[in-house]
């Protein structure tokens, strides 16, 4: 098999995984390991008056009980938010402390109050029920609108009005002038529902204390092990070289959730040191709803101004972003990190945005697949459809009129982003053709004949990817033919072993069929940024490319010495170094063997991010008698830059679309309006997309190479989610447009649709 860039090679990981030979966290044996169980708050907001652990500490099988007193005596520091969002008046962001264990107050259901360490999980759970905590319940708030309302109780003294930050960016004056002079201004207010990542493998960890070296070690599924190492060292008050983070060979999904620090991790390390034994914990599925950071959750108001010819003039965006009770490590990032995506693929002369981060009595919010990108795309693409409807115009035509032309690249949007490359019109035209827009009226009539309402929705999506953060790579070629690539990225299901094998196979004339990819061990890899933001190949791949080029340079020098000529006289042909114009040569493998092996390292940092883009088209049917919705066809044309493996790209798009459909059609975390009690605590309470949810999916590449990295890769990991939420909603609104329906809030459940249809029909009657 030839591992080359662009080849549709099946994932090398899959045979091992389908045979059940994966190595996930729970497959790792830790001799003598104890089990941790956490006592969590049943209240959304309450003062803690007393914690009595005496009975629990005497329970059978219990080895230790840890409360805030132990945390304080050990000097364990609070968790830290790693980003700063300035307010418009230059006030610093409110940063209330997130303690590993609650001390005098709990601020969300599920907040950890105590940790039981026992010989097994069952006895730990029994002992947890013996912990007595006297709570004095306090008023609680879960919705951002209520949290900023008159008379709302402030969660934190340092955050009056529950305001963490008030971020403003853009040309507010220009927007106001354009709105005043516009022929038409369309507006919309809507919520973006709260969801959870729900990876198949829940969060967990195994903590070790190595007495002989006085080092901590934690094994956990994580996307950024080096960042976690730094965070844990800070919390524990030790030098970074005294903490080792190891990611298992296989991680059952991350989706942004596993990119952060959580209270459990430092607590497990504390227990391991106290007890001189390994301590492990894995969240149950119900516990995950309580203990995981959640995603999305904001309330947005948007306006779009147009002139009489349908050209976009200005966009205004106002967002209340729910941050939860505490700031997660990157909690504010989704709210402000992709605001530039509001401009979409369009020329919009003036854009202004205001984002207020709000504290509520809910689980902290963290990046979740897309992390602000789907929200920005939702804003502009819903407005475009509404504008087209009000103008009585084809929504595709309105989009095409305002697209940034390919000849304008690189294009400064005037609002945070500069697009390096792209042919948006070509992508749009291909999506329209592939989705057979021309045949849609006939399909709509056929559905109507069966009593169904058929709609088609389109979404143009663009996102910032890659990020301007460095990545590392090291490649080692052994004299015995072995190949090892060390990368600072971390696979959590994307297919890194396959993609990096193709990359190295393209760049070096060697057999990479047995190449070993080393990732996720902070002892074996000195530096690394990790996997998030669709960056593994655009940045991590670029680092690997630089290391491979260094290997070739070394080999060329050695070949020149061996052949007794200058390096400039050496050519590489079919795996051999040849003196130009002669038949004298030496093989690359011979050079590696004679030299005892070759090694090269690199650190690569992009000067700018990449901008994957694409067009999603959703076609669906709604049964007006039941509210049932079925997605019939789904078409994606994407520009992800240079494609390493089309099968991996299709897989990433399929997964992203599935998660987007999940949120559009049913996923939502619910809280009781009065008690703020979390109501979504099991998979029975939470809609998840299943095989039956997924339609026939067409994925086509229409790429233009990125100009910001040597491989031309833009990234694909989050692309499927960015356009899918709004494509589904646009299609559903199109289906119900004959009933006079202008907008639908997610999720589009059968009950919601049935109620809306019934109300619309009653209104007409």
Lowest mean pLDDT among 47-61, 204-218, 579-593: 579-593
- What is the per-residue pLDDT across 643-665, written as a single tens digit (0 to 9) for each? 999 999 999 999 999 999 999 99
Phi, psi of 241 (to 5 degrees): -75, 0
Residue pLDDT, tens place only, 158-176? 999 999 999 999 999 999 9
User: Which residue from 254, 270, 214, 217 is spatially nearest to 30, judged by alpha carbons?
Assistant: 217
Mean pLDDT within 56-72: 98
Query: How far is it, in rounded angstroms, from Cα 259 to Cα 721?
Result: 18
Q: How far apart are CA 527 and CA 230, in angstroms?
A: 11
More confident of the two residues 764 and 244:
244
Find, among 439, 472, 470, the residue nearest to 456 by Cα. 439
Token pair, residue 233, equals 């060292």
Cβ within 8 Å of residue 42, ≥6 positions away:
109, 135
Judge residue 646's burial from the number of C-beta atoms within 10 Å of its C-beta, 0-12 exposed, 13-18 middle, 19 or more buried: middle
How confident is the model over 668-683, as a mean pLDDT?
A: 94
Do 277 and 220 contact (CB within 8 A), yes or no? no
CB distance 592 to 546 below 8 Å: no
**Res. 564: pLDDT tops 90:** no
Same fold, 295-465+609-764 and 467-604: yes
Classify domain 30-137+209-280 by CATH number: 3.90.1170.50
Q: What is the mean pLDDT of residues 559-577?
A: 89
Separation of alpha carbons 452 and 243, rounded Å: 60
Report residue 765's pLDDT band, with 50, 70 and 90 as the boundaries.
Answer: very low
Instruction: Dump the DSSP string for 141-198.
Output: --SHHHHTSTTPPPS-TTSGGGEEEEEEEE-HHHHHHHHHH-SEEEEEEEEEEEE---
| DSSP assignment of 452-517 | -EEEEEEEEEE--BS-S--EEEEEEE-TTS-EEEEES---SSS-HHHHHHHHHHHHSSS--TTPEE
- Is pLDDT of 631 > 70? yes
pLDDT tens for 97-152 read: 999 999 999 999 999 999 999 999 999 999 999 999 999 999 999 999 999 988 88
Which residue ranges make up each domain of the chain?
30-137+209-280, 295-465+609-764, 467-604
> What is the Cα–Cα distance from 702 to 486, expressed in whole angstroms?
31
The residue with tokens 């940034």 is 404
Is CATH 3.30.365.10 what the domain over 467-604 is classified as, yes or no?
A: yes
Banded model confidence at residue 153, pLDDT cuts 50, 70, 90 = confident
Question: What does the pLDDT read at residue 254?
Answer: 97
Mean pLDDT confidence for 208-223? 98
Q: Residue 1's pLDDT is what?
A: 59
Residue 714 in 3-state DSSP? coil
Using a pLDDT cut of 70, give the percent of the chain over it: 100
pLDDT value, residue 207: 99
Indicate the pTM of the whole model: 0.96
Residue 217's pLDDT is what?
A: 99
Mean pLDDT of 518-522: 98
Tell which CATH classification among 3.40.50.1580, 3.30.365.10, 3.40.50.300, 2.40.50.100 matches the domain 295-465+609-764. 3.30.365.10
Average pLDDT value for residue range 212-219: 98
pLDDT interval class at 183 (50, 70, 90): very high
Q: Provide the pLDDT for residue 573.
A: 87
Averaged pLDDT score across all residues of the chain: 96
């Amino acid at each position: 098999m030839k591992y080359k860039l662009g080849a549709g090679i099946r994932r090398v990981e899959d045979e091992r995984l389908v045979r059940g030979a994966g190595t996930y966290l729970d497959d790792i044996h830790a001799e003598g390991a104890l089990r941790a169980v956490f006592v969590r708050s049943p209240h959304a907001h309450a003062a803690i008056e007393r914690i009595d652990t005496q009975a629990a500490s005497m329970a059978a099988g219990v080895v230790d009980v840890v409360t805030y007193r132990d945390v304080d005596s050990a000097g364990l520091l609070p968790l830290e938010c790693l980003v700063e969002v300035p307010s418009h008046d230059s006030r610093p962001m409110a940063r209330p402390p997130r303690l590993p264990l609650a001390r005098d107050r709990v601020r969300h259901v599920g907040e950890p109050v105590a940790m039981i360490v026992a010989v097994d999980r069952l006895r730990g759970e029994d002992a947890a029920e013996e912990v007595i905590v006297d709570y004095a319940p306090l008023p609680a708030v879960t919705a951002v609108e209520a949290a900023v309302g008159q008379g709302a109780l402030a969660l934190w003294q340092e955050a009056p009005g529950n305001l963490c930050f008030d971020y403003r960016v853009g040309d507010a004056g220009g927007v106001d002038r354009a709105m005043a002079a516009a022929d038409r201004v369309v507006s919309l207010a809507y919520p973006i529902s709260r969801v959870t990542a729900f990876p198949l493998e829940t969060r967990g960890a195994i903590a070790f204390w190595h007495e002989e070296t006085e080092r901590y070690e934690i094994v956990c599924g994580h996307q950024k092990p080096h960042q976690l190492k730094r965070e844990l060292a800070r919390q524990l008050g030790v030098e970074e070289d005294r903490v080792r983070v190891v990611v298992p060979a296989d991680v059952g999904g991350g989706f942004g959730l596993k990119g952060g620090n959580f209270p459990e991790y430092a607590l497990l390390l504390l227990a391991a040191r106290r007890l001189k034994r390994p301590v492990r914990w894995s969240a149950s599925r119900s516990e995950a709803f309580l203990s995981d950071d959640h995603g999305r959750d904001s309330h947005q108001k948007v306006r779009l101004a147009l002139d009489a010819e349908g050209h976009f003039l200005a966009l205004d965006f106002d967002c209340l972003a729910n941050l939860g009770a505490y700031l997660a490590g990157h909690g504010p990032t989704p709210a402000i990190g992709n605001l530039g995506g509001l401009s979409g693929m369009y020329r919009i002369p003036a854009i202004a945005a205001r984002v207020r981060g709000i504290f509520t009595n809910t689980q902290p919010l963290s990046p979740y697949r897309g992390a602000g990108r789907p929200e920005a795309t939702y804003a502009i693409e819903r407005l475009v459809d509404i504008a087209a409807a009000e103008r009585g115009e084809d929504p595709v035509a309105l989009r095409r009129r305002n697209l940034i032309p390919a000849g304008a690249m690189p294009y400064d949007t005037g609002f945070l982003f500069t697009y390096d490359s792209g042919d948006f019109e070509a992508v749009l035209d291909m999506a329209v053709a592939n989705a057979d827009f021309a045949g849609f009226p006939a399909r709509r009539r056929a559905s109507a004949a069966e009593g169904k309402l058929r709609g088609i929705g389109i979404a143009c999506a663009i996102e910032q990817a890659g990020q301007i953060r460095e990545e590392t790579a090291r490649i080692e070629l052994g004299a015995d033919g072995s190949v090892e690539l060390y990368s600072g990225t971390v696979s959590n299901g994307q297919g890194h072993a396959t993609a990096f094998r193709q990359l190295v196979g393209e760049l070096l004339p060697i057999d990479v069929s047995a190449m070993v990819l080393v990732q996720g061990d902070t002892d074996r890899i000195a530096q690394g940024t990790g996997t998030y933001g669709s960056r593994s190949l655009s940045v991590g791949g670029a680092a690997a490319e630089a290391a491979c080029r260094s290997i070739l340079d070394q080999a060329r020098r050695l070949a020149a010495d061996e052949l007794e000529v200058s390096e400039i006289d050496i050519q590489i042909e079919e795996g051999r170094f040849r003196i130009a114009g002669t038949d004298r040569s030496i093989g690359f493998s011979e050079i590696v063997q004679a030299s005892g092996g070759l090694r090269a390292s690199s650190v690569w940092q992009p000067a700018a991010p990449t901008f994957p883009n694409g067009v999603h088209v959703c076609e669906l049917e709604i049964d007006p008698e039941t509210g049932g919705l079925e997605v019939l066809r789904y078409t994606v044309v994407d520009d992800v830059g240079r494609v390493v493996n089309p099968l991996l790209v299709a897989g990433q798009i399929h997964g992203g679309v599935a998660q987007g459909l999940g949120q559009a059609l049913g996923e939502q975390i619910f809280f009781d309006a009065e008690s703020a009690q979390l109501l979504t605590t099991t998979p029975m309470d939470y809609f998840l997309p299943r095989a039956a949810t997924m339609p026939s999916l067409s994925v086509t590449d229409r790429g233009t190479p990125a100009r910001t990295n040597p491989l031309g890769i833009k990234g694909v990991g989050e692309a499927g989610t960015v356009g899918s939420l709004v494509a589904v909603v646009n299609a559903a609104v199109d289906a119900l447009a004959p009933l006079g329906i202008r907008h639908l809030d997610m999720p589009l459940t059968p009950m919601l649709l049935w109620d809306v249809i019934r109300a619309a029909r009653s209104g007409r009657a």
